[in-house]
């Protein structure tokens, strides 16, 4: 499908990682699109949870923020934020946390706080919100982002959400018992951490993508799996579901009716 955009490929590839058995803590943006495509296609019984306290939400359009009324209106239940974090998240009841990133390093550590020096930043970002807790308390973490040397860096400017730290058993040494980042999906490839070093390694290239394209848009020396695969192209159902969702969202946020 030559008309599939890199962003569509990334979103659909990310959605495939989810199942109906998952209880998923959803980030806004690309993670939200991926999770809802999964819900609308192969994982109808997935439980989507957003930071505002909405449980089992099934939005017809993608939310602008965690406080979007669409989330509460379609949720099975809405609880207070302290209950969401203390009972559901820190209580170990969430299998997958789906996060985005402004900066990420090869060990899955995430920065969403500042670009540059903290006290004199080039850019001040939205911050961590609940992401630091999500990164340590969910069973495992999936991450989506578009590849660029400014976002995939050798060293992040600020540790907002802890991934695998310095690699290896760093999480375990700090007493963190969850798996941490187990999957990174970009607009060019699918990455998984090395079982021992925890450094993200490319395991699958999206159709038409070369190793050189991946390296040119990454700030560290990329490692590729020996049995490198090609990501299956989106099916007609996956693609039409995503495009219909995006179109409904566009109309709704422009003030039109989300039919």
C-alpha span between 141 and 186 (Å, rounded): 14
The DSSP string of 149-180 is TTTB-SS-SS-SB-SSTTSTTHHHHTT--S--
In contact, 183 and 191? CB cutoff 8 Å:
yes
Q: Which pLDDT score is estimated for 1?
A: 45
Using CA atoms of 13, 62, 258, 43 in order, give the dihedral in degrees to the nearest 10. 50
Contact 145, 98 (CB under 8 A): no
Per-residue pLDDT of the chain (259 residues), as tens digits, is 459 999 999 999 999 999 999 999 998 888 899 999 999 999 999 999 998 899 999 999 999 888 888 899 999 999 999 999 999 999 999 999 999 999 999 999 999 999 999 999 999 998 998 899 999 999 999 999 999 999 999 999 999 999 999 999 999 999 999 999 999 999 999 999 999 999 999 999 999 999 999 999 999 999 999 999 999 999 999 999 999 999 999 998 886 554 4
Rg of the Cα atoms in the chain: 18
pLDDT value, residue 2 = 52
Q: What is the pLDDT of residue 129?
A: 87
pLDDT at 255: 65
Domain ranges of the chain: 6-252
pLDDT at position 36 is: 96
Pick the CATH number of 6-252 from 3.30.70.20, 3.30.420.40, 3.40.50.2300, 3.40.1080.10: 3.40.1080.10
Helix (DSSP H) and strand (DSSP E) numbers for the chain: 8, 14
Record the pTM. Answer: 0.93
Active site residues: 51
What pLDDT is stored for residue 259 in this prediction?
45
């Amino acid at each position: 499908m030559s008309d599939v955009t890199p962003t569509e490929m990334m979103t659909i590839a990310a959605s495939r990682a989810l199942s109906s058995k998952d209880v998923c803590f959803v980030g806004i943006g690309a993670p939200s699109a991926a999770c809802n495509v999964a819900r609308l296609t192969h994982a109808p019984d997935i439980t989507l949870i957003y930071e505002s306290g909405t449980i089992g939400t099934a939005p017809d359009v993608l939310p602008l923020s965690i406080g979007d009324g669409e989330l509460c209106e379609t949720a099975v239940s809405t609880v207070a934020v302290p209950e969401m974090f203390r009972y559901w998240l820190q209580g170990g009841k969430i299998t997958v946390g789906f996060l985005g990133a402004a900066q990420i390093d090869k060990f899955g550590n995430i920065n969403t706080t500042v670009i540059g020096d903290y006290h004199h930043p080039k850019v001040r970002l939205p911050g961590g919100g609940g992401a630091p807790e999500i990164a340590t308390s969910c069973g495992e973490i999936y991450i989506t982002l578009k590849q660029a040397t400014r976002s995939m860096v050798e060293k992040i400017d600020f540790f907002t959400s802890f991934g695998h730290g310095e690699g290896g058993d760093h999480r375990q040494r700090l007493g963190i018992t969850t798996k941490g980042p187990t999957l990174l999906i970009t607009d060019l490839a699918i990455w998984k951490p090395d079982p021992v070093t925890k450094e993200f390694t490319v395991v699958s290239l999206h159709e038409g993508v070369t190793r050189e394209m991946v390296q040119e848009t990454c700030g560290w020396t990329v490692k590729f799996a020996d049995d490198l695969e090609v990501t299956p192209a989106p099916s007609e159902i996956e693609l039409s579901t995503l495009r219909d969702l995006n179109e409904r969202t566009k109309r709704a946020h422009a003030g039109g009716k989300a039919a």
